[in-house]
Chains A and B, each alone.
Chain A
Amino acid sequence: MNPGLVHELTKLLGEDSVLHKLEDLFLYEYDASVEKGLPDIVVFPTTTEHVSQIVKLAAKYEVPVVGRGAGTGLSGGALARTGGVMLVFARMNRILEIDPENQRAVVQPGVVNYELTRAAEPHDLYFAPDPSSWKSCTIGGNVAENAGGPHTLAYGVTTNHVTALELVLPDGEIVRVGSKHDDVFGYDLTGLFVGSEGTLALVTEITVKLSRKPEAVKTLLAVFDSVDDAAESVVDITARAITPAACEMLDGWTLRTVEDYIHAGFPMDSAAVLLIEVEGLAEAVAAQAAAVTEVCNAHHAREVRLARDNAERELLWKGRKNAFGALGRLAPSNYVLDGVIPRSRLPQTLRRIQQIGTQFGFQIGNIFHAGDGNLHPIVLYDPRDAAQFERAMQASAEIIRYCLEVGGALTGEHGVGMEKSELMPLVFSDADFDLMRRVHDAFNPSCSLNPGKIFPLSKGCGEIRVRKQPGEAASRP
């Protein structure tokens, strides 16, 4: 499309850092969502200066720029919805500093989440946000989407662990916001940029808090014969003033699928399991584990099992973290939803999800962060069957609408991206969009960064035209 741009990018980065052949570009058309978007050029910068130069070149040729980490996102945030330059941070993957005394780390955006925790381990520290994809997702991606994970129940999501950022603005200017210490001076720009899905600036360096590893951890598996009992237990644990480090739920159908594949020890005939983890001082953990057991028993748990050792604990978590992979064996594709409800509405919401499944003809599995009401219903479908795909999308939208009806949110940790931009008017008024638009334009006035995300297309940048067929516009040499 842009031989001049390809030439200049190649001059800047070298041949092995610029992809522009269709067969190469196809690899970057996907992320872990059901969306697609083909970039025209893919580049791999290694320095902040590169990023700044790339953005300037893209501006010169008037093509958009989209940042991407490992492409594990679930809302299409890292897809080139309108083509353009995809800027992949995979080679900006250095941990610049681990500061144990102040419990901070400074990293480049391409550092894999798990790698940071591993590097901090010798100091008894770790990086708390732990999305299911933690072994491949990057911290830059976590920052863009404000990623969560099972352990965010007690420790908060990505934004609670980021204190400073280095950014490249759409005009190529390099800016630093926040600082290494905890306090915000001036407006909380760091808080605004985290979770802005790459629509305001590109993040090139991140300062994060590291957390101290707890002295004791106890992992419990509570087995239930009814989903309602499991859900009621979650509500009651909170009411008893217990904040578990994690509180995850798998429904019966899902846990059977997982068990077939992982052999984590989930009872095949149960209706639901709760995976609950309590952490802290040994004395506190013992009391909390006893209280959790008592609550589950009061709600007719068939069995509450305490992981005896690390191996058993890891096996239980393996069952949870690899659940999406296990479900992948059942259908050509699956759609992982992300909705949030007030946790007291869990039982009724799960019933409603089953009704919606029946209505649209899908088996919908549920695996989710029960403790904070963050649901991940999974719809299995065959993308080759256009009608089925359409029905799957309808069922999904119906579930998300119900989450909003009961006072929840459109997305808890996956982001709006392309996936939910058209659902945003269910939450926000015209006045809300106007203000968000003005904030967007304050940083990204010509919509050159990650266009077509967050905002509904009708309320987005005027000049955006979304390709109907992702592959279409790439029909060039």
Chain B
Amino acid sequence: MTAISTNFAARLESLIGPSRISTDAAARACYAVDEFLPTAVARPTSAEEVAEIVRFAALEKLALIPCGNRTKLRIGAPPSCYDIALDLTGLHEIVHYDPGDLTLSADAGTPLAKLNALLVDHKQFLPLLVPWYSLSTIGGTIASGIDSPLRQFYGTARDFLIGAEFVDGSGHLCKSGGRVVKNVTGYDLHKLLIGSLGTLAVITRLNFRTFPAPIAGSRGFVASFPDAEGALALRRAIASSSLTPLTLDIASPELAQIFAKRTPATPETAVFAGENRAADQSSLQPIGDWFNPREWQLCAAFAGTTEVLDRYARELTLLAEKSRATSTAILGDATRPAVWGRLRESLAMLLETSPATVIFKISVLPGHHAALFTNLQHIAERATLPSALVARAGGTIYFALLPASVNEDTTARLSQSIARIFDFVFASCGHASLLFAPPALKERTSLRSQQLVAPASSRLPANSRAELIPGVAQMRRLKSAFDPQNIFAPGRFAGGI
């Protein structure tokens, strides 16, 4: 370590105490972001301490990356510099919960599981069943912008995050929104924090609207199809029916094979947290034979009274038959978690499958999905790369390339496929972002400046793509407004922000 860095670590210690600062190699290694290590790790225990650290960092122009339990730090571009890891797990109080109002306020480092454990006593829940669920903090979940299968019914965090407190780049504790479900007082700055990867502010507290848990009962439905067309036809039929399932995912045969072979590493909790405690279990059951590893599956979860459950079972089965499903199954409390636990953890499982997993998040309108699926598979086959796909809630697709080994050859084929996928998605008027990729590959595709988020319909040279990210110039203006010194996670965001 250089004298300067030793010096700043000592000054950090004077701010929040020596026991809250680590500079040893082992501790720093835990906070690596794409193989970059921080010089020091700071673990504040209050928003005031966060503000002090940020003021110090702003003064010294030190780059700072906020984090929770570090399950999703692989999302984003490699940082352009990284001095301090700001670990927020020391801020973990649930500061306010009023079951009658269905509102909750908790510190950024609060584990999602802790929060849902409180809510379950009041038959409520927060519909954020994200990958690495049992390890995730609410701050990390919001900052990473990751979604959950439940978005089909409940929407994404932008629909139920109602307020936030955060420290801006000048080290001031700010807030926006409030603790009521309806509020138009001032700018909705908290929405900007969703998916911001820590580049705008350090989130210290989040306020949510909570939801009544589906206590009356819930079931799962799985239909298998020989091709994607059938599954897409059923999804269209459901979308134009009166049914409003809680989740609606389409899994490719390759994903079904991964589901059949693997169990998520993270311990399991209730699949729809809050519905009942009996569903809690320490590990997932193996997947049943109703989940055919050679076929496409459509998976829908639904909830309600016995009459409602019967109606769903009846109509979904009928619609599936019309779409030429080869088999259908209704899953009860015993079997349902086997599928939905895996659907929730899909991204984590895909990352475990290969030493060099690449995962795209792709959004195109449902009408373009059939062509997209075919082309994605085609691109993967052409590069002889195994792949897997899950289409979530109508419009969002996670597509993974899963090379069996890492070497120069696979890396070359991966980067070629990445370019082809971006090109195809642009041509289909969609958006794509490379959510996960090995650091070397991120560098190779110079992801920071070009391709983290790419715009619709671009056939322009790769180096001008960043300028075509819709509103990237406005995003830069916002970044400067929040973080004038550019100290928060520099380089991690789209367009080099």
Contact = CB atoms under 8 A, between A and B. Distances in A.
Interface of A: 101-103, 145-146, 148, 152, 156-157, 159-160, 175-189, 191-192, 194-196, 212, 214-215, 235, 238-239, 241-243, 280-281, 283-284, 286-287, 340-344, 369, 372-374, 407-416, 420, 424, 427-429, 431-432, 434-436, 438-443, 454
B30 interface: no
Contacts of A415: 184
Contacts of B101: 238, 342-344, 373
Contacts of A194: 188
Interface string B153-185: 001101100000000101011111011111111
B253 interface: no
B449 to A, nearest CB: 14
Contact of B196 (A187, A420, A442): A187
Nearest to B163: A409
Given A160-B155, A431-B173, A192 B191 contact: yes
Nearest to A100: B240
Given A183-B431, A439-B189, A340 B195 contact: no
B330 interface: no
Given A160-B158, A342-B101, 9 more contacts: A103-B239, A184-B158, A186-B471, A189-B478, A343-B101, A411-B185, A436-B186, A443-B474, A443-B477
Nearest to A340: B180
Nearest to A280: B244
Nearest to B433: A185
Contacts of B361: 183
B124 to A, nearest CB: 8
Contacts of B494: 185-186
Interface string B97-124: 0111111000000000000000000011
A238 B494 CA distance: 41
Interface stretch (B131-139, B334-342, B390-398, B405-413): B390-398
Interface of B: 98-103, 123-124, 145, 155-156, 158-159, 168, 170, 172-176, 178-189, 191-192, 194-196, 200, 211-213, 215, 236, 239-240, 242-244, 304-305, 307-308, 310-311, 361, 363-367, 393-396, 430-431, 433, 453, 456, 469-475, 477-478, 480-482, 484, 493-495
Contact of A188 (B179, B191, B456): B191
Contacts of B396: 181-183
Contact of A408 (B180, B366, B477): B180
8 contacts: A156-B155, A181-B430, A182-B156, A182-B363, A342-B100, A343-B101, A413-B182, A442-B478
B99 to A, nearest CB: 7
Given A183-B363, A184-B158, A409-B182, A176 B478 contact: no
A415 B470 CA distance: 27
Contacts of A196: 187
Contacts of B236: 101
Contacts of A407: 179-180
Nearest to A157: B182
B184 A414 contact: yes
Contacts of A369: 182
A286 B307 CA distance: 10
Contact of B308 (A183, A284, A432, A440): A284
Contacts of B186: 416, 424, 427-428, 432, 436, 454
B183 A411 contact: yes
B175 A432 contact: yes
A397 B439 CA distance: 56
Given A180-B365, A241-B123, A416-B186, A281 B308 contact: yes
B393 A372 contact: no
B311 A283 contact: yes
A160 B183 CA distance: 13
A441 B158 contact: no
Contacts of A414: 184
Most buried by B among A145, A284, A411, A429: A284
B304 to A, nearest CB: 5
A179 B363 contact: yes
A458 to B, nearest CB: 16
Contact of B100 (A152, A184, A343, A412): A343
B308 A241 contact: no
Given A184-B158, A241-B215, A442 B181 contact: no
Nearest to A75: B184
Contacts of B98: 342, 344
Given A160-B155, A409-B178, A182 B394 contact: yes
